[in-house]
A and B are shown apart, each in its own frame.
Chain A
Amino acid sequence: MSINASGWRPEAPISGGKAAPTTTGNKALMLEEALIFEIGDTTTTGVDLVEPIAATSRLGDLARTAPIGLPGLSEPETVRHYTRLSRQNYGIDLGFFPLGSCTMKHNPRLNEKMARLPGFADIHPLAPVQSVQGALEVIQQLAHWLVTLTGMDSVAMSPKAGAHGELCGVLAIRAALEARGEGHRKIILVPESAHGTNPATAAFAGYSVEDIPATADGRVDTEKLIARLGPDVAGVMITNPNTCGLFERDMRVISDAVHAAGGLVYCDGANFNAIVGRVRPGDLGIDAMHINLHKTFSTPHGGGGPGSGPVVFSKALSPFAPLPFVEKTDDGFHLVEEETAGEHHAGAFGRMVAFHGQMGMFTRALTYILSHGADGLRQVSEDAVLNANYILRSLDETLEAPFGGAGPCMHEALFSDNGLADGFSTIDVAKGLIDEGFHPMTMYFPLVVHGAMLIEPTETESKAALDQFIVALRSVAERAKAGDVSLKSAPHFAPRSRLDETLAARKPILVWKDPGLAQAAE
């Protein structure tokens, strides 16, 4: 025979060996990545540009001569930098992301493809209206869906995100009250379980905020709310379904009482996903509600935006909706802006953004809505609610479900940290879930429940995915109840262990400074 001269003699792999730390800090597929300021330099560029044509400068004496300090990378280095960074992130594409109140559902790629059609992506907001009829038609079609799904009268499309939508709604309320000569109404009632954006919005709009307590079953205390109504109350801001994941059964009663007392009703629509096609907010007496296209209608959250927050209005508030908006006449679609508003929309409270809102989100949301249709959207809500109740009932013996006894939940299941071992809290459960390969639930919100764990599965999850999560959360919760100290230092398998937020806040480092230069300056 001839002898294998390569030296490679295959053997069975050995298990159980202990790894030495790597010299790079990398761990196989998990690669450490420095900052662009450490790996790039100001003379490198990843873009081939032509030489400028010869021309006499018209910059006057304003030419920028001092170094700016912007490092560049070649294209392959750039692709690697951001690819490596991306791998340190958890996203819906990777796994279950049950962040309560955030509706982290699948982001269909057809939406992305449609938003990138040149006819949508490459048109200018100030192009002559005759040249952008298709864009205005998209806005109008989406507006029609939103108005119909909510049973409302009109919609303002321009708000840029949920909180911006809230502001739009509350400003319309204030404009309406002032038009009635009731500008003296200065109080907005907000349940204590509300998102922080609600009181922040009301305060910005010039209102004082008064908290309305919750009842023992996790809903707004209707009696206390009604008792507080009066000539000084401008309105209420209520989230429905609420942040405890419950439908406000008394919504209609509350709306009627608020209206009878001369106020108006704002609904935070962050949780609209639970009820699309099952109930219309317009049938509950609501005057204004924002819709998070980046929640209910699947436009991607992108690591913190962009969002989009159209606001639907009742007949009472429609005359005060902001500019601009799209109108259809026999000769096509028109933009109603400051110029023409005086003729038939004189009550508009003004303008909230430079242009027409989040067109790129409109195309995605319309694509999503057309894909589902009226039947599919109803099925979405049903599956979202079914998944949440399945989680609630599968875990309510492991974790305390403070409102679990009161009946079904809507799109999210709420648990507390009662019953965990002394010194263990929700954050330890959350970090333990990271090690199990899940994104944690929303922690410590709503404020009305101690150590709140708010779990919103959405309709995106299969039964198998839910079952796997339930098993994992049971196991982590049992460890927290037993006082397993290894949970206190979790996560152990993430790119970073727990980060020191106190250090970050006490000595804020918000921009990178060249350590050499920083030292020289001292």
Chain B
Amino acid sequence: MRYLPLTQIDRDAMLGVIGVATIDDLFVDVPEAARLEGPIPGLPMHASEMAVERHMTALSRKNLTAGEVPFFLGCGAYKHHVPASVDHLIQRGEFLTAYTPYQPEIAQGTLQMLFEFQTQVARLLGTDVANASMYDGSTACWEAIGMARRITKRGKALLSSGLHPHYVSVAKTMAKFTGDALETSAPTLGADTDIDALIAAIDTDTSCVVVQYPDILGRIADLKPLADACHANKALLIAVVTEPVALGAIKAPGEMDADIVVGEGQSLGVGLQFGGPYVGLFGCKEKYVRQMPGRLCGETLDADGRRGFVLTLSTREQHIRREKATSNICTNSGLCALAFSIHMTLLGEAGLRQLAAINHAGAVAAAERLSQVPGVELVTTHFFNEFTLKLSKEARPIVRTLADRGILAGVSLGRLYPGEDSLANGLVVAVTETTTAEDVEILAAALQEVLA
């Protein structure tokens, strides 16, 4: 077995030092009835590197790879080009095979990176502070709802109809157990967000309003009036960003006075990976920092007066506060945070703004081109790199048909909101720097054909 260095001679010598005759003597505490005498039957035995590679490669070939086809899927996960150096650097063993930095003197690499990540995220989101990552956007979102409950000591959260339905589903699941009351609804297939309705619904029982920006249909709207309405009722505004590249083009939620801004960081550095691992972004106003979930890295000095970094404010966390912790999170998404941070460093502000501009211009051009197809109507007026089309036929079967032809056409609202008839003809299309004009033409032609 190539991963096991002990030889049989070593094992025998070690058993001698321990003072037992056989390895079984070390498992005597397992009740006799539960002991397994040999390898579990029905499972294969060990295999060579080559054999395993062959098996896994065969499985991977059964998938239609995004990079091989015209690709327009978004809705919480976006295809962006990740520079080669990102993946090289995160595979350095000192990053890849380190643990959570509990011994700061020999973990300054991870800690300094996290401090840089926190600063990058805070600046991107427009918040005072940010933590060292959460699992993903959806879990960051419900952690934020819980944090708003602790701060406001109120239990009613208003979720915008533009919030990703899977994020809503996660929040609803958690609310069943925490007792939070959530108000939600499905979106309407139109250009306007539900901000006015949310403002009208806020009252003095409201802990927070959760709004996605850009929202599930790709729409963007000014959050400042909503923030003001929240604050007038001593409620918090939580903004959710599933496409961080957008914040290279549009105002950050923090700039519009959101109290907590969470996000999915997958777009930068991480890749699609069929949904995970991803990296949750979590920023907020400084006054709420002690109610934050997750790890925080802070600057300090060592015994010789040199700058260094440590995990800090740990008394919020489970390993100290146990049942009174702000969250049960322990392992988070460190290596994905590193990938995000490296990609962001490569881009810099100039690169991020240009990348965002490329995305937006490409999306505008694609929206205009696709809306010329007979039977296609552009629903979204203001958007970043993702927009919604209303087709003259149900979108979901069309997406399946086009997938069979090697076109991944977008996310149908029928997939996200099964049973919502008013949304069945909606198709959400994402366009990034990886989308070519030719891809758009192929999609336009295919839509024209299937809608005819």
Contact = CB atoms under 8 A, between A and B. Distances in A.
A220 interface: no
A59 B330 CA distance: 38
Contact of B108 (A88, A93, A305, A465): A88
Interface string A265-276: 000000000010
A63 B55 CA distance: 49
A11 to B, nearest CB: 34
A379 interface: yes
Given A197-B328, A500-B303, 18 more contacts: A62-B251, A64-B247, A71-B349, A78-B342, A78-B346, A125-B274, A134-B62, A162-B331, A196-B320, A206-B179, A275-B30, A304-B99, A305-B100, A338-B169, A354-B275, A371-B52, A376-B1, A389-B18
Nearest to B320: A196
A45 interface: yes
Given A55-B361, A125-B274, A64 B250 contact: yes
A46 B110 contact: no
Contact of A52 (B329, B348, B360): B360
Interface string A122-143: 1111111011111101100100
Q: Which of A93, A124, A174, A355 has the most CB of B within 10 A?
A: A124
A447 B336 CA distance: 32
A494 B133 CA distance: 27
Contacts, number: 737
Interface in A152-199: 160-164, 166-167, 171, 174, 195-197, 199
B389 interface: no
A440 B383 CA distance: 51
Q: Which 3 A-B pairs have the closest CB atoms?
A: A72-B348, A355-B275, A350-B173
Nearest to B75: A126
A171 to B, nearest CB: 6
B400 A503 contact: no
A63 B97 contact: no
A357 B276 contact: yes
A90 B113 CA distance: 14
A394 to B, nearest CB: 7
Interface string B414-436: 01101100000000000001000
15 contacts: A46-B348, A64-B247, A70-B344, A86-B95, A138-B56, A148-B43, A301-B100, A302-B90, A306-B335, A352-B139, A363-B56, A370-B47, A378-B38, A385-B26, A408-B27
B390 interface: no
Interface stretch (A34-42, A226-234, A310-318, A471-479): A34-42
A412 interface: no
A126 B411 CA distance: 7
Q: Which of A50, A148, A501 has the most CB of B within 10 A?
A: A501
Interface string B242-274: 000001111110010000000010000001111
Interface residues of B, number: 213
A62 B66 contact: no
A307 B174 CA distance: 20
B381 A58 contact: yes
Nearest to A93: B93
A343 interface: no
A508 B15 CA distance: 50
Contacts of B2: 371
Q: Which of B93, B222, B279 has the most CB of A within 10 A?
A: B93
A270 to B, nearest CB: 10
A501 B18 contact: no
A30 B42 CA distance: 51
Contact of B105 (A52, A131, A199, A491): A491
A455 to B, nearest CB: 14
Given A459-B6, A509-B298, A120 B335 contact: no
Interface string A41-58: 111111101101111111
B36 interface: yes
Contacts of A216: none
Contact of B276 (A306, A439, A463): A306
B43 A302 contact: no
B285 to A, nearest CB: 12
Interface stretch (A1-9, A12-20, A245-253, A415-423): A245-253
A83 interface: yes
B313 A508 contact: yes
A44 B353 CA distance: 12
Contacts of A499: 104-105, 300-303, 308-310
A18 to B, nearest CB: 18
Contact of A137 (B62, B176, B324): B62
Interface string A482-514: 000000010100111111110111001111100
B331 A306 contact: yes
A373 B63 contact: no
B61 interface: yes
Interface string B395-407: 0000110011000
Interface string B209-245: 0000000000011100000000000000000000000
Contacts of B451: none
B110 to A, nearest CB: 4
B63 A119 contact: yes
B331 A124 contact: no
B251 A63 contact: yes
A449 interface: no
B13 A463 contact: yes
Interface in B2-36: 2-6, 10-11, 13-15, 17-20, 23, 25-31, 33-36
Chain A interface extent, by class: 35 or more
B319 interface: yes
B218 to A, nearest CB: 10
Contacts of A345: none
Contact of B94 (A63, A90, A461): A90
Contact of B19 (A205, A393, A434): A393
A161 B76 CA distance: 20
Contact of A46 (B95, B318, B345, B404): B345
B433 A49 contact: yes
A112 B28 CA distance: 37
Interface stretch (B122-130, B151-159, B200-208, B442-450): B122-130
B291 interface: no
A330 interface: no
Nearest to A85: B109
B252 to A, nearest CB: 7
B362 to A, nearest CB: 7
A173 B130 CA distance: 34
Given A78-B346, A386-B14, A350 B176 contact: yes
A202 B101 CA distance: 26
B379 interface: no
B287 interface: no
A60 B328 CA distance: 41
Contact of A374 (B43, B60, B122, B251): B43
A204 B75 contact: no
Contacts of B138: 353-354
B382 to A, nearest CB: 4
Contact of A64 (B56, B176, B251, B317): B251
A72 B94 contact: no
B89 interface: yes
Contact of B352 (A68, A279, A301, A489): A68
B358 interface: yes
B105 A434 contact: yes
A199 B320 CA distance: 11
B60 A496 contact: no
Nearest to A513: B119
Interface in A430-474: 430-431, 434, 439-440, 443, 445, 459-463, 465
B45 interface: yes
Contacts of B29: 246-247, 249, 407-408, 410
Interface string B340-372: 001011111111101101101111110110000
A84 to B, nearest CB: 8
A300 B97 contact: yes
B130 to A, nearest CB: 7
